[in-house]
Structures are given as C-alpha cells and as structure tokens.
Amino acid sequence: MPEKEFCLLHEPWILVMRKDGKEEEVSLLDVFQHAPEYQRLAGELPTQDVAVLRLLLAVLHAVFARYDIDGRFAPIASPEDALRRWKSLWDRGSFPMQIIEDYLLHYEERFYLFHPERPFYQVAGLNKATEYTAAKMNGELSESNNKIRLFPQRTGDGKNTLTYAEAARWLLYVNGFDDVSGSGKGRGENKQPKYKVGWLGRLGLIVAEGKDLFETLLLNLVFLKDGEEELWGKEKPIWELGTVRSDASCVITIPDNPSELLTLQSRRLLLKRKGDLVTGYLLRGGDFFLEEKAFAEQMTVWRNTAKKEADPPEYYPKRHDPTRQLWRDFSTLISQREGKHRPGVISWTAILKRKGLIPDTHCKFMTAAVKYNSTGMMNMSVEDVFSDSLSFNADLLMSLGEDWTMRIIDEIEVADKLVGQVGWLASNLARATGDTDGKNQQNSAREQAYFRLDIPFRQWLEGIDPKKDSMDKSCSGWWEEEKRIIRALGKELIDQCGPQAYVGRSLINMKTKKEYRYIAPEVYNQFLYHTATRESLEKGEKKNGRSGKATKKASK
C-alpha cells in the first residue's frame, strides 16, 4: 500500500447538497469551483459542516488576503481595501478558480490524508497517545473504548471502519469538537490537566447563511476583525507551516489571523488504516489558549462574566443551551452596548449592510453546538449535537434598527414573564392536587409555553420592517398573539386538573410556618388577571418573582 494516498484536493470527500436537493461528495477544488451551484454543506452533523466550513474559509483567507481576483499579489492594506476586495468577490458571483487552484496545488503535498511526513491535520509518527477505534471518531456514534452507544446509527463491523472520505470529514470534527473522555496520555508537563474539549466545542458557534454555498462562504469571510477598522495579521494556515507541533497540550498565543485560528490543531491525531478503510486513530491534546477576550474568534457568541455591573467586562465564549430557542438570546446576538460584545460575523454582516455591499433585506444565522455530559471537566463526553437558526431584517443591525432592537429585547422579556405566569399556574394547580412541590409541572408548562411561542415569534421577528412598520402597532399585535397562546395553554391546564384541585389543599411553609391554601379557581383567576395587560403582568412578576413562584393565600 503506498504511503502517500487520498489527496483532499482531488478526491471527493466533502458532502454538499445541490439546489435540486440531491447530495454528492466533491473534492476541495470542486467545492470552490461549483459553490454557487450548491445549496449548502450536507455532512452527517451540523457541527461537522461547521468544521468543514472553517477549513474552506481558511483557504479563502489565505488566498484573498494576498491576491486580488485577477491574481495580482496585492495584500490587503487598509479597511477600504478589505471591503473592495470582498465586494469584488461578491459581485463576481463565483470564485476565480485559477488563483485558488494555483495556491492549493503549491501546497498539494500537505493535503494528503496519508503521507509519510505531513499527513493532513495529523502528526506523523505520533506516539505517547491514546488509541481509539473508528467508532469513537464517528460523531454519529461517539463510542469510546469503554462507552458503547445504546442505539447507534451503524452496527456490526460497519461501525468500526470508515472510508477515507468519511475519515477526512470526521478528522476535522474530532479536531474541533473532541471531548475529554479520553484525556489519556501526554497531557503536558507533570501530567497537568490542561486537556480541554476542542476549541469549537467551547464556543457558542454562529454562522451567517446565504442563498447558496458561495454566499455562505463570503458572508463568513470576515476581512475586518469584528467588522471594525482593524486588519488581521499575516495569514498562517496549518499547511503553510514549516513544521507542525507535536508536543501535547501546548499553550499558545491566540492567533492574530483567521486562517491560523480556523485551522487550529486542538488535537494531535494520526489515522490508522487497514486495506482501504480507516480502523482507528491515535489522539492526544493539542494547542490551546486562554478563552477570555479571545476576540479573534469571529464565529461565537459571548457572555460577560463580571459579577457586578460596575466591574470591568470579562468576556468568554458562551455555549448554546439546547433547551433555549435561539430567539430567546436575541440580545446576546445583536446587541452592541456596554457589557455586551456582538459576534464578529454579525458585526461583519452589519458593516456589509451599512456600506451597501449586500442588497438582501434579511439576514439569517445558524448556530450549531455539542452538548457535553459530565460531573467534572475531566469526565466530559459528548451527549448530544444540536442546531438552530434565526432570520430577521438586516436593517435591525443598522442605526435605523437600534430602537427596534431594544424594543424586541423588551418583548422577549415580556414573553419570559408570560411563561413564568403559566409556570406559576401549573405549579399551584399541582399543589392544589396534592403535590407539595410542583416543580416538574412548572418546568413542563414552561417548556410547552416556549414551544408554542417559538414559530409565532420567529414569524413576527422575520416580518418586522424597521423602515415601514409602526413599532407600537407591531408590538401591540405581538402582545395580543402571545397572550392568546399563553392563556390557551393556561385553559388547558385548568381543564386537565382533577376534582381534587377544585377542593384544594392546605400546605405549611416550613420556613415561615404559615399555612397556605391552594385551590384551582383562585389560582386560575389570578393567572387570568396577571396575563390580562402588560401592567398587570408586571405586578404579577413582582409578586411571584421571575422564577414563577406561586402566589399563596395565607390562612391562619
């Protein structure tokens, strides 16, 4: 078997969906050549697609930060130059393939999946590493040597092997999203626990989506850091480096250029094969850096962990919560004010819109994330993979939309309060029936309320036109709709409670030693009162608390 095999530039391995809905595997050169013909990437998982997308973006940054679309060597020298370069690509409608092809062929030796010296995204001769089967590499299975998935996507011998094309995709995924269930060997000096989940697994990933893969690539091709005036440093993707680091768990300085960050080696890997199939791989920790204010990362949402409002902001990537719909984090996504830091890709979209470089009235963003299950950092393993998306009028990112943005954020808070009221109702109906806690019923009702508000809110948000719509009229219409939805759920809850809830129960609060009476008609009438108007909702919020605690009628 030849040592040098499967060149990613020419062999089909990237899964894409054509505009007719059919899927196919294409090579790295093909994906750029025909990007306008493809709807999107179509890998096994949305997180895998993000890992592949970041590779493609690294190539584009490495090429077009240096060359214009006519192939002339002309490194981006100013913010104006960066915007002109981007606009020339957008207006062209396709990638100038000769430039991309010449660049990639120059580094062709670095794009072989199997190579005696420089296997792609791997370390030749890797040792002092933990060995895994292909079932662990496959994110659809995510089986370790001591954890077997109960209902796997593939079974039998098929789960223990991968084709070269599959292995190439999962290689990118593992590098970015690997858990720490097998921190194993080579964790740095004195075996210090520096091993963390892959860089992408620590992010609240967010990606701008276009009408086709070409547009998606360009909308995420951020030529100016955070959409501001700052230029990037010299591009240094992994395949341009003279040597690759092989030491385990290396602390590095955060890259100052996109292509280096986009090709960050969070893991040291080496594939193992038998015949024409990949059977497993060797793995140990790779490069990492401090997460605080790692603003070179353009594809994540951020959280401010400062304990007090007056304290200096402490920004860290904010992981997505699979139980929260994306619209509930609207403030985190687009608010750019003190104590908030907007994702770089959203700020980039804003400057493209503000400069008139994109004509679209709406913008769409997709999130993808891995949920890790653990009782401690060093026992973390993959539990689930999830994604979400949100579309809204691009004018909301402009100064024109600032007042609208604040109003939308306020409306989301109102929705939270309505959900709190229906949770309060469910909790107290449970108490009236005999449950001394009611938390399970409360959580279930809240979850159902957000589910029912989900599509209507997305439709309302997407329909907002800051240039034409009356803010008060639009928000008033949404209030009536969300109130109707929440009250309908409340009516179902009261209809479903049994006769005992109408008789009621008395419970003693162990802290206050007071007796409280819970009876269905009374708690339902209070629910109706508190959800009748915005003013009464605010009173109910203050009375019950944001957590949806019940209002209790005391009887001595």
pLDDT tens digit sequence for 19-66: 999 999 999 999 999 999 999 999 999 999 999 999 999 999 999 999
- Give the other-Cβ count within 10 Å of 431's Cβ: 25
| CA distance linking residue 299 with residue 366, whole number of Å | 10
Query: Is the pLDDT reported for residue 189 higher than 70?
Result: no
Rounded to an integer, the average pLDDT of 166-181 is: 93
User: What pLDDT is recorded for position 549?
Assistant: 40
Q: List C-alpha distances in Å: 387 to 15, 23, 31, 69, 384.
A: 18, 20, 23, 34, 10
> Half-sphere exposure (CA, 13 Å, Cβ side) for 370?
30
37: Cα within 13 Å, side-chain hemisphere: 9
Q: How confident is residue 550, by pLDDT bands cut at 50, 70 and 90?
A: very low
Say if residue 426's pLDDT is above 70: yes
Q: How far is the C-alpha of 507 from the C-alpha of 248, rounded, in Å?
A: 59
Q: 258 Cβ partners below 8 Å, 6+ apart?
A: 57, 58, 61, 222, 232, 235, 296, 298
- Give, for 363, the enclosing helix (H) or strand (E): strand 362-373
Q: Which residue has the tokens 């908030």?
A: 340
Alpha helices in 297-438 (DSSP H): 330-334, 344-354, 402-433
The per-residue pLDDT for 144 is 40
Q: Report DSSP state, residue 73.
A: B
Q: In whole angstroms, what separates CA 4 from the centre of its chain? A: 35
- Tell me the β-bridge partners of 385: 370
What percent of the chain clears pLDDT 70, i.e. is strictly above it?
88
Q: What single DSSP character describes residue 399?
A: G
CA–CA distance from 167 to each of 9, 41, 111, 225 (Å)? 15, 16, 14, 33
pLDDT at 158 over 80: no
Q: Which two tokens stand for residue 323?
A: 């139980």
Ranking 226-230, 409-413, 552-556 by mean pLDDT, the lowest is 552-556
What's the pLDDT tens digit per position in 503-542? 877 776 667 667 778 888 899 999 999 999 999 999 888 7
pLDDT greater than 70 at residue 554: no
State which H helix or E strand residue 206 sits in.
strand 206-209
What SS3 state is found at 215?
helix
307-357 pLDDT per residue, tens: 888 888 899 999 999 999 999 999 989 877 777 889 999 999 999 999 999
Residue type, 507: L
Residue 363's DSSP bridge partners are 392
With contact defined as beta carbons under 8 Å apart, do 429 and 494 qualify? Answer: yes
DSSP letters, 124-184, are: TT--S-EEEEHHHH-TTT--BTTB--SS-SS-GGGGG-B-HHHHHHHHHHHHHH--STT--
Tokens of 74: 């002309």
Q: For residue 270, give both structure tokens.
A: 């080496």
What does the pLDDT average to over 365-379? 78
Confidence at 553, pLDDT banded by 50, 70, 90: very low
Torsion of CA 393, 397, 399, 402, to 10 degrees: 80
| Residue 145, pLDDT above cutoff 50 | no
| pLDDT for residue 532 | 95
Q: Residue 440 — very low, low, confident or very high, per pLDDT cuts 50/70/90?
A: very high
Q: Which two tokens stand for residue 456?
A: 């209507």
* CA-based torsion, 404, 409, 410, 411: positive or negative: positive
Q: Phi, psi (5° rounding) for residue 93?
A: 80, -5
Q: pTM to 2 decimals?
A: 0.90
Q: Residue 431 and residue 46: Cα distance in Å, rounded?
A: 42
Average pLDDT for the chain: 89
Q: Give the single-character DSSP code of 401.
A: G
Q: Give the integer Cα–Cα distance in Å for 53 and 146.
A: 31
User: What confidence tier does 237 reach under pLDDT thresholds 50, 70, 90?
Assistant: very high
Is the model's pLDDT at 287 over the cut of 80? yes
SS3 content of the chain, % helix, strand, coil (to 5): 45, 15, 40
Burial group, residue 531, by CB count within 10 angstroms (0-12, 13-18, 19+): buried
Tens of pLDDT, residue by residue over 69-123, are 999 999 999 999 999 999 999 999 999 999 999 999 999 999 999 999 999 999 9
- Locate 428 and state its tokens: 């107290």
- 463 falls in which pLDDT band (50, 70, 90)? very high
Which pLDDT band holds residue 191 (cuts at 50, 70, 90)?
Answer: very low
In the chain, % of residues over pLDDT 90: 72
Per-residue burial over 268-286, b = 16 or more CB atoms within 10 Å of its CB, e = otherwise: bbbbebeeeebebbbbbbb
- Can you give the three-state secondary structure of 494-556, one letter per residue? HHHCCHHHHHCEEEECCCCCCEEEECHHHHHHHHHHHCCCHHHHHHHHHHHCCCCCCCCEECC
Burial-class residue 356 by CB neighbours within 10 Å (0-12, 13-18, 19+).
exposed
What amino acid occupies position 486? I
Give kind and range of the element (H or E) at residue 371.
strand 362-373
pLDDT on residue 530: 96
> Of 120, 179, 129, 141, whose CA–CA distance to 281 is shortest?
129
Q: What is the pLDDT of residue 160?
A: 85
Beta bridge mates, 553 = 517
H/E run at residue 24 = strand 23-26
pLDDT of residue 545: 54
Which pair of tokens denotes residue 255? 């890259």
Task: Enter the tokens of residue 489.
Answer: 């759920």
